[in-house]
Amino acid sequence: MKWAAWFGLAQMLAAADWKAALAKSKITPEGPIWMSGYAARTHASDGVLQELWAKALALEDPKGNKVVFITSDLIGFPRRITDGIAAQAAKKYGLERAQIVFNSSHTHSGPVVRPNLETMYDLPPEEWAKIDRYGAKLSSTVLDLIGASLGQLTAARITYHEGKATFAINRRLVNPNGPIDHTVPVLRVSALNGKLLGAMFGYSCHNTTLTGEFYQIAGDYAGYAQEEFERAHPGSVGMFLMLAGGDQNPSPRSKVELAVQHGKSLAAATEEAITKPGVPIAGNLRTAFHLVDLPLAHHTREDFEKDLHDPNKYKVRRAKVMLAAYDRHLPVRKVAYPVQAIRLGKTVTYVPLGGELVVDYALQTKAAFPKERIVVAGYSNDVMCYISNKRILQEGGYEAVDSMMYYGMPGPFAPEVEEILTANIRRVLGDVGLKP
């Protein structure tokens, strides 16, 4: 037998030592609830177009090291919720913080998840109570989902594939021909007998095909893509991993048929990718997690005292929050930002990052490690605001400036944010054994 054949056989045998399991739980709100993502909405949801799901992929390497990926049809997991779930998972399942990823599709047709985008809403107490009850139930459901996936771990073959979908565009008006990433990374999971158990596929694009005039609960294109995948493979679990889509929009948009169309396009790209030979996951699992302080631009109390008289009601709400912080002698100067890495053998490394991450960070990270397969995911572990880079901060606009008032942030990031975040991405990748 030739060396290449021996090497291929050795890879397959090593890959067979991994275990995996997929599980899912419905997280559709019961009854009307205020929907997140669009400030222009004037009332709660009035029906369900699609069920919403939380899904889990648990992986275990030959040494017993584990990681659990949680994906969800939500606007975002706030850190208040992920910290609580992670603390309970540590007690119940022995998982360290670096061993759990919480990712959200950022659908704008799902419920408000407090405190994400809290400044966007001025609701009566009974509506906030309903949202808080949903958050508590969500936490309980996801904790149980983690346990369910870990309890079902079984020998599996896991392979990495890549496809391409082209419906995402760079949405910034100041840069209409700006950077994009049409890559569809896919992690395929099958039983040792070849039966497909599921796949986790990602894309860098806002889930905003359904715009603000829609009042039915839905997962948008990501929801339709997952449904299409599972329809094609009965009994399997299709998981959508939101990548660096902060400045990316689906095109065209504003019709249900277009959300279906984009979902089918993404599912087709996934299907095409997994029908071709993939790269087996072999070797050992390594994980790392850090909280990093990202500095915000300088502001003063006087800035927000002026905003109290602004005709923009969102600026007024933000000003009240900021002045209350000043009153406590704790003005908001920085953001605690989660940076994570999960290396699956030497095959592929996932880099889950918090916030609405612009695509530049993904492209720059992959370019800095040209010999590695790297998947950069935004909207992970906390979605506290947009994460702009230096170029976008200089250009200004929605992602850099205007969006921050909806998130209750005092203003844009400081110019050095890109340098700090890039250094910490490299740091966490170094923790799992990658070198540029």
- The per-residue pLDDT of the chain, averaged, comes to 95
User: Domain range spanning residue 315?
Assistant: 297-327
For 15, the enclosing helix (H) or strand (E) is helix 3-15
- Are 212 and 311 contained in the same domain? no
Domain-located, residue 2: no
In angstroms, the CA 179 to CA 177 distance is: 7
Q: Could you tell me if 304 and 185 lie in one domain?
A: no
Verify that 123 and 78 share a domain, yes or no: yes
Residues 58 and 203 in one domain: yes
- Rounded CA-CA distance 347/349 in Å is 7
**Tokens in use for 215?**
């009042």
Token pair of 246 as six digits = 């902060």
Instruction: Give the mean model confidence (pLDDT) for residues 322-351.
Output: 97
The answer on pLDDT for 50 being more than 70 is yes
Mean pLDDT (whole number) for 220-229: 98
402-427 tens-digit pLDDT: 999 999 999 999 999 999 999 999 99
Q: What pLDDT does 15 receive?
A: 55
- Say yes or no: 168 and 92 in one domain: yes
Q: Does 260 fall in a domain?
A: yes
Is 189 part of a structural domain of the chain?
yes
The continuous run of DSSP H or E covering 5 comes out as helix 3-15
- Pair 19, 41 in one domain: yes
6: pLDDT strictly greater than 70: no
Mean per-residue pLDDT for 30-47?
96
**Mean pLDDT confidence for 377-400:** 96
> Do residue 278 and residue 143 come from a single domain?
yes
Summarised one tens digit per residue, pLDDT across range 138-174 is 999 999 999 999 999 999 999 999 999 999 999 997 7
Cis peptide before 412 (omega within 30 of 0): no
Model pTM above 0.75: yes
Residues in the chain, how many? 436
Q: Which two tokens stand for residue 362?
A: 């993904």
Q: CA–CA distance from 363 to each of 255, 357, 366, 382 (Å)?
A: 30, 11, 5, 21
Cα 167 to Cα 170: distance, rounded to the nearest angstrom: 10
Co-location of 311 and 176 in the same domain: no
Q: Which two tokens mark 67?
A: 């990681």
Is residue 36 in some structural domain?
yes
Confidence (pLDDT) at 9: 44
Residue 264 maps to a domain: yes
168 and 314 within one domain: no
Q: Tell me, yes or no, whether 243 and 320 share the same domain.
A: no
Measured in Å, how far apart are the chain's first and last C-alpha atoms? 35
Are residues 91 and 43 part of one domain? yes
- Whether residue 312 is contained in a domain is answered as yes
Contact between 266 and 227 under an 8 Å Cβ cutoff? The reply is: no
Indicate if 226 and 315 belong to the same structural domain: no
* Number of compact structural domains in the chain: 2
Note whether residue 81 is domain-resident.
Answer: yes
Cis peptide before 252 (omega within 30 of 0): yes
Number of H helices, E strands in the chain: 11, 17
Picking from 364, 379, 394, the residue at the C-terminal end of a domain is: 379
How many C-beta neighbours within 10 Å does residue 136 have? 12
16 confidence band (pLDDT: 50, 70, 90): low
**Structural domain contains residue 103:** yes
List alpha helices for 297-402, DSSP H: 301-307, 313-327, 359-368, 390-395
